[in-house]
Amino acid sequence: MQDQRFDEPVRIALGRSRNSIFNVERVAQAADILMNRWPVATGQRHMAARKVCLAVLEGRKEASVARAAFISAAIEADILVEPREVSMPTGQN
């Protein structure tokens, strides 16, 4: 198994009321969530992400491909947590 780290973590919200935020940092972690903790019925992007994560763990694909597929599946399931925007204080340039 070749677990790889994502370039940047992917933030998702799980739980009944989606109040548990997870920072997914590794392909194996993403695969575990996709297979065991996914909150909605299987969708097309969900299945594609599962396949890509397994391919990475088998050494056939790169982690960046798995990250993109995981994000796509999270959008499909409406669990992606957008990065918080940094706001500048008023009056600052």
pLDDT of 1 strictly over 80: no
Q: Could you tell me which residues are beta bridge partners of residue 31?
A: none
Q: Are 7 and 26 in contact (CB under 8 A)?
A: no
Q: Tell me what pLDDT residue 93 has.
A: 45
- Between CA 52 and CA 84 the distance in angstroms is 27
Q: Tell me what pLDDT residue 23 has.
A: 96
Q: What is the pTM of this model?
A: 0.85
Q: Which amino acid is at 81?
A: V
Strands 20-26 and 5-14: antiparallel
For the chain, the average pLDDT equals: 88
Confidence of residue 40 (pLDDT cuts 50, 70, 90): confident
Q: Tell me what pLDDT residue 15 has.
A: 85
- Please give the average per-residue pLDDT across 33-54, as a whole number: 94
